[in-house]
Structure 1
């Protein structure tokens, strides 16, 4: 796949709702290099904000994507994924972990980008307090469950608006990642549409997760297992 330059916004500026109201596949590429900043409180005491740079993402559509939570229609669980764009879709997987997605497309049309991996660029002490089992800084947000934990996200943050300047979790444009540094391939761990190459990552980043081919167990509700 030929990949063009991704980030259209000014580095440091908040990503707007209109900028996310696009095809999740296009949005996924553009989100590489973007920055997520979390000012959420921490159970470990006073916490400095955690700021991460996205280096791995996956796109999910709706009715035309068998790997999407929305493939079989709208439910109370996946309601946020139907828009409007710019909100967080947070779900619980395997009875153990939370995963976070950035909602795309327009209100009423399902689409989102799963945040799979990121580099912590600020707030490392808070990140390490939230992820004490991490053996290195690269492991703090490598993989969607670790990334969500590092940012302090859980079910209560489902629907949070990343484009709101007053939001405790915000999404900002970062420095553009040149096309030569971007790779794409199959999504991780999905049970359907296994070969669809809608995972995008920054080549060479130590925060990119390991690839696991999907289809090893039946997943209900067309649930992405990443």
Structure 2
């Protein structure tokens, strides 16, 4: 949970995988509690570790901004699975996004990972994000984060709570953050009724947090 005490301890602290029960809670509890946690990605090239600094909550079939709002589809099936698994989807025909499923099975809640600090494997993140202008941009925004981690559809449904250190994707306890550093506001780019939900959470003052952008409806081309 988010704590108020000082959590600056040794490097051996926070290396345990988050439990399934951590994710088996309401999405609005899980989302801010993910801040400060460590996301580990293992690939054939080596591993990367990110410290999560920005997330967004999506509450399934009761949330107009969620992919699951209109029910189960082939695309969003992983959202209806057990908690503690990944939901990966393609957006704008260009980018992958990584979400973590939470709440009871069939509830379809999830947390979009929006921003993070690369704390290990920085050279691999640079190799995948060569156009980044500075280190804080390597995983600043959900598409950049997924690109830096080499996330694709093959990780959809991956278990992030596994004990195996060589697993493709894991979430470790990290260092829980102080509650007064957590900020909340509207979700980025969500329109319609979903725009009213202030379910974006981030760490105050972190340069890896992405800029807020309101939803802009796509203009329809005039008939010719």
Give me the TM-score of the superposition, normalised by structure 1: 0.88
Aligned position for 2:174: 174
Q: CA deviation at 1:152?
A: 1.1
For 1:105, the equivalent position in structure 2 comes to 103
Q: Is the 8 A contact 2:87 2:99 kept in 1?
A: yes
Between the aligned partners of 2:159 and 2:2, the Cα distance in structure 1 is 28
Give the whole-Å Cα distance in 2 for the aligned partners of 1:197 and 1:143.
17
Task: Give distance in 2, aligned partners of 1:88 and 1:127.
Answer: 20
Q: Compute the displacement of 1:156 (Å).
A: 1.1
Aligned to 2:22: 19
So what's the TM-score if we normalise by structure 2?
0.89
Unaligned runs of 5+ in 2: 5-12, 220-224
Distance apart, 1:63 and its partner CA: 1.4
Larger radius of gyration: 2
Partner of 2:218: helix, strand, or coil?
Answer: coil
The whole-number CA distance in structure 1 between the counterparts of 2:73 and 2:129 is: 32
Equivalence for 2:32: 29
Name 1:72's counterpart in structure 2: 70
Q: Distance in 1 between matches of 2:89 and 2:43?
A: 18
Partner of 1:189: 189
Aligned partners of 1:82, 1:154: CA distance in 2, in Å? 19
For the 8 Å contact 1:191–1:217, the answer to whether it is kept is no
Q: Residue 223 of structure 1 corresponds to which residue in structure 2? A: none
Distance in 1 of aligned mates of 2:30 and 2:146: 19
Deviation at 1:158, TM superposition (A): 0.5
2:84 maps to 1:81: no
Structure 1 CA distance, aligned partners of 2:81 and 2:172? 19
Tell me the CA shift for residue 215 of structure 1: 4.3
Give 1:48 deviation, angstroms.
2.8
Of 106, 116, 121, the match for 1:123:
121
Query: Which residue is equivalent to 1:144?
Result: 142
Q: How many residues align?
A: 209
